[in-house]
A and B are shown apart, each in its own frame.
Chain A
């Protein structure tokens, strides 16, 4: 008989050695406008890629990349599906073994195209043709040490607004496809479902406990209709960012001219969580900012 204390359904094995989120990559036709918006939100441009038109913005433990490189996947994505979040990178203990394991479980590999002297960051294909990169250089030695040059600080420097980390990533999927994407994340990453909301959204958490995704079915994207290929209709909808002081963030956003689609309010689906939602300043990007209850 199985020992209940070792039941794998409660604590899935971290087969890939996941250890949180490294960066979120944005494909935007107007990189300058999006960069200015990030600065409104308290992010600083800290580094630029050595050979490509890619800029790293940072606040707290959040790394946002704006990729405007013509030859890049981001701009191919932009041309195919329109502007959006085209990739995320996850931290893993060991890229080579994690990547091999992910491919053996049925993930599609992305053909590499690093330039000379640049890191080759392997990636797999996820919802709506987005990519998930695997990174094992984080902490003291990062991927940015190799591929990026530091940018001088702005004068005056951008004031951080207390955004600390990426709290969740929302994936839009065709209605009826949510179970397939749940199983995809289970099989490849060992994510487990933590909650299904009244509205039909599914919350999943990585086995390392540091990455949350929300799978949100969209009624108007029906699989099977010839005009509506899932890869065109699905994708990363938005990013939820964590803060310890939501009221301060709301005040600072307003002061910086960021319109709010929803003022700070209780999250109907998650007791104790409060949140705000910005209105898009650079279409189609909007952000959720959440404050979780203080740990007991």
Chain B
């Protein structure tokens, strides 16, 4: 009985940790992976920095940072708008996708005796 329980425990632990390891790999690899390949926006930002010297005159008369304007007493503060506005929803195509065709190969039925 104890041996059976131990076997079951080992199975759960082994498979579970395998799942944990796999999901961990996915997060780490994709989450902070390095993008390789064609990345036009990245390169564009590099070139923007390259040519900026032509157009930017650095001035040092930086004005002191003013404290943020406080709303009048009693009024709830207005929730700040996020920087990125939502683009319009994707239009639905006029033609509906046809139903998926049945696969040509079916699972074989169990052999009859």
**Interaction A to B:** no
Chain B interface residues toward A at CB < 8 A: none
